[in-house]
């Protein structure tokens, strides 16, 4: 699994941890200079009166959500991800870039929450990401066999899916943990690198938390932070559907391992790309919304590889690529809550371009591998989602 570095895209919202339904500020309310997201679909709370659809409508595939002042969280994430990359580029440690990137991705969590709660979510998710960075680096340093690496990443997919569902993280699902473990297991490492990966990832996490708290330097930010106390007593949260949590975890495990096996059997060099694509759609309660996400992943990636080829054809120097990644990351965060397919237009060039930080890459091979691995992962998970539709459907309550 020695391969080029990639990045996977964002994700759809769910109710974050510790925030029962109806307790966040109403949609449009100002906090920390941004607006909170509209009440999202919670993928794991039991609502027995639902009648989940199977297939999406055409309008679901092309619908674009509102902007909702997304530039502020987008700026936070872009800063947390790009600043460590620039520092490593300037100090000649480009091989450590993946460790920093995944620590910085903690800034993507808790979007729309008040600053204090957002920091808590980011610390939780960031700690898991740092652990995944260290785990992946350890697999690489030990030169673990492909089968072992595949099974470990599959286990990460299952555990991270369950944790994300139980803690109601936003963004939901195991995308970032699977991605972090997969990338770091593919980056060449020696035992001494394990400690370096932990330090770099933890430092990037600390920066992400600082960036999230930067608004406290402004009077308006401090007033908004103090306003948290006036929200009143939280309403009781809906119970978590443990059966659905377990099903999500099982689907992620089977989909990730199966996709990696098919990718390897096809002779592709980036099996973890297939694993990431296989777990991305497994969020949400309804099969129709999961299938929309699967289609967005496939189509957005196929279009994104064209833009990636154009970026790589420019043959930019390292700092030029880092600057381009900052623009791409900002664009991805602007789009992620509006249309996941559009997000992949920004993410894919960044994913394929990161390999060029450390030297020349075979653009044609990267484009083909990315498209093929994405198709494999999406194909596997779509089959599993259709096969398990009835298992994941909560029957209507009697008399409803």
Tell me the pLDDT tens digit for each residue of 183-205: 999 999 999 999 999 999 999 99
Least confident window among 149-163, 213-227, 271-285, 310-324 = 213-227
pLDDT, residue 192, reads 95
pLDDT, residue 128, reads 98
- Mean pLDDT along residues 261-288: 93
Beta bridge partners of 45: 240
pLDDT band at residue 339 under the 50/70/90 scheme: confident
- What DSSP line would sit under 182-231, residue for residue? HHHHHS---HHHHHHHHHHHHHHHHHHHHHHTGGGGSHHHHHHHHGGGGG
pLDDT, residue 47, reads 52
* pLDDT exceeds cutoff 60 at 19: no
pLDDT, residue 17, reads 36
Percentage of the chain lying above the pLDDT 90 cut: 60
pLDDT, residue 18, reads 36
- Mean pLDDT along residues 160-170: 94
Those residues whose C-beta lies under 8 Å from the C-beta of residue 230, and which sit 6 or more positions away, are none
Those residues whose C-beta lies under 8 Å from the C-beta of residue 11, and which sit 6 or more positions away, are 171, 172, 173, 175, 280, 283, 336, 340
What sign results for the dihedral spanned by CA atoms 204, 84, 274, 150?
negative
Dihedrals φ, ψ of 57, to 5°? -90, 160
pLDDT, residue 315, reads 87
Q: Are strands 34-35 and 30-31 parallel, antiparallel or unpaired?
A: antiparallel
- Mean pLDDT along residues 244-257: 96
Map tokens 């903690």 to a residue: 106
* pLDDT exceeds cutoff 70 at 399: no
* pLDDT exceeds cutoff 90 at 42: no
pLDDT, residue 15, reads 32
- Mean pLDDT along residues 34-63: 57
Least confident window among 2-11, 276-285, 287-296 = 2-11
Cα–Cα distance between 220 and 242 in angstroms, integer? 41
- Mean pLDDT along residues 327-350: 91
- Mean pLDDT along residues 365-373: 94
Supply 370's token pair.
Answer: 């990315």
What sign results for the dihedral spanned by CA atoms 179, 161, 124, 65?
positive
Alpha carbons within 13 angstroms on the beta-carbon side of residue 72 total 19
Q: What are the boundaries of each domain within the chain? A: 53-219+239-387
Those residues whose C-beta lies under 8 Å from the C-beta of residue 377, and which sit 6 or more positions away, are 255, 259, 263, 273, 274, 275, 276, 277, 278, 279, 280, 297
Helix 363-387 and helix 271-279, axial crossing angle in degrees, nearest 10: 40
The pLDDT tens digits of the residues spanning 80-95 come to 999 999 999 999 999 9
Contact 161, 197 (CB under 8 A): no
Contact 64, 339 (CB under 8 A): yes
Q: Please, what's the b/e burial string for 154-174 (b: 16 or more CB within 10 A of its CB; e: otherwise)?
A: bbbbbbbbbbbbebbbbbbbb
pLDDT, averaged across the chain: 82
* pLDDT exceeds cutoff 90 at 359: no
Contact 379, 337 (CB under 8 A): no
The pLDDT tens digits of the residues spanning 324-334 come to 999 999 999 99
Q: Bigger pLDDT: 283 or 239?
A: 283
* pLDDT exceeds cutoff 90 at 398: no
- Mean pLDDT along residues 144-170: 96
């Amino acid at each position: 699994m020695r391969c080029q570095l990639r990045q996977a895209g964002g994700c759809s919202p769910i109710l974050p941890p510790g925030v029962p339904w109806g307790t966040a500020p109403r949609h449009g309310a100002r906090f920390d200079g941004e607006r909170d997201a509209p009440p999202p679909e919670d993928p794991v709370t039991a609502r027995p009166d639902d009648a989940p659809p199977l297939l999406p409508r055409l309008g679901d595939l092309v619908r674009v959500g509102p902007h909702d002042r997304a530039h502020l969280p987008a700026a936070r994430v872009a800063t947390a991800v790009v600043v460590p990359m620039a520092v490593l580029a300037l100090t000649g440690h480009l091989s450590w870039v993946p460790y920093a990137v995944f620590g910085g991705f903690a800034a993507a969590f808790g979007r729309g929450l008040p600053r204090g709660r957002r920091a808590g979510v980011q610390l939780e998710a960031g700690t898991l990401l740092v652990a995944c960075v260290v785990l992946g680096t350890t697999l690489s340093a030990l030169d673990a066999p492909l089968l072992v690496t595949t099974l470990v990443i599959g286990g990460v997919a299952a555990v991270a899916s369950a944790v994300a569902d139980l803690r109601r993280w936003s963004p939901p699902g195991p995308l970032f943990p699977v991605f972090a473990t997969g990338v770091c297991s593919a980056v060449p490492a020696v035992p001494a690198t394990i400690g370096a990966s932990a330090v770099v990832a933890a430092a990037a996490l600390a920066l992400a938390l600082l960036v999230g708290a930067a608004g406290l330097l402004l009077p308006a930010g401090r007033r908004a932070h103090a306003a948290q106390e006036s929200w009143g007593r939280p309403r009781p949260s809906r119970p978590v559907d443990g059966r659905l949590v377990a099903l999500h975890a099982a689907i992620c495990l089977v989909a990730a391992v199966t996709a990696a096996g098919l990718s390897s059997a096809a002779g592709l060099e980036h099996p973890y790309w297939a694993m990431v694509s296989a777990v991305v759609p497994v969020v949400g309660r309804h099969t129709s919304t999961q299938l929309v996400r699967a289609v967005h992943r496939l189509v957005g990636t196929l279009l994104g590889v064209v833009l990636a080829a154009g970026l790589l054809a420019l043959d930019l120097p390292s700092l030029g690529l880092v600057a381009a990644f900052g623009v791409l990351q900002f664009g991805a965060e602007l789009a992620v809550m509006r249309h996941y397919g559009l997000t992949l237009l920004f993410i894919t060039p960044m994913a394929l371009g990161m390999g060029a930080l450390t030297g020349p890459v075979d653009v044609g091979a990267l484009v083909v591998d990315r498209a093929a691995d994405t198709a494999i992962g999406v194909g596997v998970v779509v089959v599993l989602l259709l096969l398990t539709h009835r298992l994941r459907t909560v029957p209507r309550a009697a008399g409803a």
